[in-house]
Amino acid sequence: MKICCIGAGYVGGPTMAMIALKCPDITVTVVDMNAARIAAWNSGQLPIYEPGLDDVVKQARGKNLFFSTDVAGEIKQADIIFVAVNTPTKTYGVGKGRAADLTFIESVARTIAEHAESDKIIVEKSTIPVKTADTIKTILASNTKGLKFSVLSNPEFLAEGTAVRDLLNPDRVLIGGERTPEGDQAVATLAGVYARWVPRANIITTNLWSSELSKLVANAFLAQRISSINSISALCEATGADVDEVAHAIGKDSRIGPKFLKSSVGFGGSCFQKDILNLAYLCESFGLPEVAAYWTSVVSINDWQKHRFVAHIGRELFNTVADKKIAVLGFAFKKDTNDTRESAAINVCRDLLAERALVSVYDPKVPAEEIRRDVLGTGSTGSPQGAADNPRLTVAKDAYEACAGAHAIAIVTEWDEFKTLDYAKIFAGMPKPACLFDGRNIVDLAALRKIGFKASGIGKPNAHRREGDTA
């Protein structure tokens, strides 16, 4: 059996590497039109940072795992074609800022129709609006070669930073197919691939539309939990309750559960916001504005939370951050990834720069040019000269350099290394009062206050109003 995956990104690369590792008899080729990305997959420096991934790729690459730019050639040879291309939010026209941009999906469907020379199973791996399989089927059916294509939905649930673990031991694999004999056959073939390492009981099969919709709903529910706890974090700050204690107390209820209740500066990542906006847009398209409004509020709270964090910094710094150095620790949207898409750090840096702060960013995995490009937008060249676009933004080589001489530290990504910094040494090199804002609730605020910091977290009792506080 030969598998081809179109799209060598955060999903295509790791998922195919795992299939190749677990199915040595299947040849798996990941193709992409981005030659630089493919070259990186073939090199010692993979294009994405993901714990454990190097090892998986090294074990299979060159044996039954290949990365190539020959999209047409690999389509011809494959029995199963996964489509793992990006499906970003539309930035133009009808549905701008909300609907999914399906340009890449449609273009892939046309490329498959053009180059296929035998019957194939097409697997939607990308996250797409419900009914997209109809579009793909229609385009494929218009081929004039009399070929048959079965279209399946097999959404991916991996989270970045834990992709290898999630792929090795998924909570479930979801496969949606047409309820016809050919559809059932295609579902069985794909299920047979996963069954090499995933227990059959964890392989769920549904109709196409349930599968497509379940992916959007899963992300919406996950993000909803974060917005719910973040909304409560504001109430905690106002009342003296501690959001981590509240999360622990409610999470002990087995009906609620403990996961995804970590209050933060706001969720980021390429998918939560995009998929909720897409879900809301779908609801509106199907005449359900109330449902759309309900889900849109999850994104609104998240936006509010990001701004609230910077507003708090401003208030604590005597209502002005202008010309004050603020160290931003962490830029990736979560720890253990180099992905910065929709990272809260982007909003934090932009809000601070808008107030004319001097922003010094440090992240252990994100290159300086990426940080400049993300914060300064398309106006920046991304080259070192790009920094000239706004000299107030600098990128430090480590946390100590970022914090030296800073009036305040803002922890924006929960990298483990930020928990064990020598904060006494950092404090000594900061003008006083020295402030620390923990946007991830990962450091010991009491210990920092003992050092002398004016330290605050998200949803934490406001220390400065507490008796015995040193700040």
Question: Which residues have a catalytic role annotated?
Answer: 271
What is the C-alpha separation between 69 and 87, in angstroms, rounded?
A: 20
- Rounded least distance, CB 215 to ligand UGA, Å: 7
CA distance readout (Å), 127 to 11, 102, 154, 257, 394: 10, 10, 9, 26, 35
Which of 66, 82, 333, 415 binds ligand UGA (CB under 6 A)? It is 333
Query: By CB under 6 A, which span of 62-70, 139-147, 151-159, 446-454 interacts with ligand UGA?
Result: 151-159
Nearer to ligand UGA, 160 or 351 (CB): 160
Contact 145, 117 (CB under 8 A): yes
Identify what 362 binds: ligand UGA, ligand NAD, none; CB under 5 to 8 Å per kind: none
| CB of 12 vs ligand NAD, minimal distance in Å | 6
Burial class (CB in 10 A: 0-12, 13-18, 19+), 422: exposed
Least distance between ligand UGA and beta carbon 145 (Å):
34
Shortest CA distance to 228 belongs to which of 255, 254, 267, 283? 267
CB atoms inside a 10 Å sphere around CB 289: 12
Smallest separation (angstroms) from ligand UGA to the CB of 95:
20
Select from ligand NAD, ligand UGA, none the partner in contact with residue 85, using the beta carbon and a kind-dependent cut-off of 5 to 8 Å.
ligand NAD
- DSSP letter, residue 389: G
Applying CB under 6 A, among 46, 109, 136, 226 the residue interacting with ligand UGA is 226
Q: Which of residues 104-143 bind ligand UGA (CB under 6 A)?
A: 127
71 binds, among ligand NAD, ligand UGA, none (CB under 5 to 8 A by kind): ligand NAD
Q: Min. distance of Cβ 318 from ligand NAD in angstroms? A: 40
Cβ 346 to ligand NAD, closest distance in Å?
Answer: 17
331 near ligand UGA, judged by CB under 6 A: no
**Order of strands across the sheet that contains 358-362:** 393-395, 358-362, 325-329, 408-411, 435-438, 454-457
By CB under 6 A, the count of residues binding ligand UGA is 20
**Rounded distance between C-alpha atoms, residue 441 and residue 264, angstroms:** 7
Q: What DSSP string runs through 402-434? A: HHTT-SEEEE-S--GGGGSS-HHHHHHTS-SS-
Binding residues for ligand NAD, rule: CB under 6 A, are 6-12, 32-34, 37, 71, 84-87, 104, 107-108, 126-127, 156, 158, 160, 270-271
Which of 12, 13, 14, 269 binds ligand UGA (CB under 6 A)? It is 269
Q: Answer yes or no: are the C-beta atoms of 206 and 174 closer than 8 Å.
A: yes
Is there a contact between 269 and 334 (Cβ–Cβ < 8 Å)? yes
Q: Is there binding between residue 324 and ligand UGA (CB under 6 A)?
A: no
Nearer to ligand NAD, 270 or 413 (CB): 270
CB of 43: closest distance to ligand UGA in angstroms? 24
* Rounded-to-integer distance, Cα 30 and Cα 16, Å: 7
Element (H, E) at 186: helix 181-194
Q: Which does 325 bind (CB under 5 to 8 A by kind): ligand UGA, ligand NAD, none?
A: none
Contacted entry of ligand NAD, ligand UGA, none for residue 226, CB cut-off 5 to 8 Å set by kind: ligand UGA
Residue 7 interacts with, from ligand NAD, ligand UGA, none (CB under 5-8 Å by kind): ligand NAD
Q: Does 48 bind ligand UGA (CB under 6 A)?
A: no
Q: Answer yes or no whether residue 264 interacts with ligand UGA by CB under 6 A.
A: yes
Kindly provide the b/e burial profile for residues 253-279, where b requires at least 16 CB atoms within 10 angstroms of the residue's own CB.
eeeeeeebbbbbbbbbbbbbbbbbbbb
Binding partner selected for residue 183 from ligand NAD, ligand UGA, none, CB under the kind-specific 5 to 8 Å limit: none
Q: Does residue 222 bind ligand UGA (CB under 6 A)?
A: yes
List the structure tokens of 394.
Answer: 């600098």
Choices 32-40, 143-151, 264-272, 445-453; region in contact with ligand UGA by CB under 6 A: 264-272
Strands (E), 351-399: 358-362, 393-395
CB of 439 to ligand UGA, least distance (A): 9
What is the rounded distance in angstroms from the CA atom of residue 61 to the CA atom of residue 19?
12
Query: What is the distance between the alpha carbons of residues 263 and 441, in angstroms, rounded to a whole number?
Result: 8
Kindly list the residues in this chain that would bind ligand UGA in the complex (CB under 6 A).
127, 156-160, 219, 222, 226, 260-262, 264, 267-269, 271-272, 333-334
